[in-house]
Amino acid sequence: MTLLLHPGFHKTATSWLQSTVFAEKRLFRSLMTHEEIDDLLVRPHDFWFDAEQASADISALRSDPKPGVVDVISSEILSGNILLGSRDSAQLAKRLAATCDEAKVLLTVRAQKPMARSIYQQYVKRGGRLGIEEFLRFAPEPGYFWFDPATLEFHKVAEAYAAYFGRENVMVLPQELLVSNRPQYLRLMFDFVGLEESVAEHELAKAPASSISPPLSGAPLLRIANSIGQSPFNPRSRSRIAPLGKLIERVGYRWTLGEAKAKQRADAALDAELSNRFGKSNAILQRFCPVDLKKLRYEMDD
């Protein structure tokens, strides 16, 4: 019975895959929640991580297999915390290799500039207070970490999993293909894990996608709300005015006035910081991807 590992990346329609595709019980059996994956594989310190026990726990979850159904472990947290530079992505790949003897590995990716913009929106959503220019350029003091554009050199993670599981067992699928040709995206994935064509596949090809990222034009309001309310980056709120923060947050999620100008500003910042740095990485990544990344507007060295 095939085991599919899907360790992200963040902001590549992972939530849709988990809530819609991997939730389709005729095709997949999702073995763990984000919280369970965090408890078993991510949160334990290196000194106390027990690979043997984790392997036994995963084996127990895979008992009583269903014919024609693929077991899957899917969570973007397995590619590390992208807002802190994904410092643990290599270690998490090593842990998965130590606990899952044989598996197929699916990495979902996105062109670097649009992905970085989406990461910034996630940062604001989770409580961040910096503008996009400051976010991209911020350099923390020694010993502390921040978003690192080098994290978007996806080939590093692909090659790490290939070293553990074999190159033939690693596939990269771009989010842009999911948007432009969902049936092809799904068929490539299903061929990879050995699923035959089915009614469920055709139903998934028509399932609506959803996006909950706040508009860029609303980011200034959300940053104000983040200075008042409670969030992962600000665990303590100013309790007396916290309701005001919630009100500003709700407005920020709906504020689309000036969205075109906000996107232009964001794109200018992204161009200044990220242009001409991912062509070599994407050329290596192409070896793992069954569709032409250059045609999907990925920066590419010849």
pLDDT at 51: 97
List the beta bridge partners of residue 73: 5
Phi–psi pair at 50, nearest 5 degrees: -110, 95
pLDDT at 239: 67
242-254 vs 219-226: helix crossing angle, rounded to 10: 170
At the top level of CATH, the class of 3-119+141-209+277-296 is alpha beta
Is residue 12 within 8 Å of residue 109, measured between CB atoms? yes
pLDDT at 200: 95
Q: Per-domain residue ranges for the chain?
A: 3-119+141-209+277-296
Q: Profile the chain (302 residues) by mean pLDDT over runs of 10 residues.
A: 95 95 97 98 97 97 93 97 95 98 96 97 93 96 95 98 98 97 97 96 88 86 88 73 87 94 96 97 98 97 86
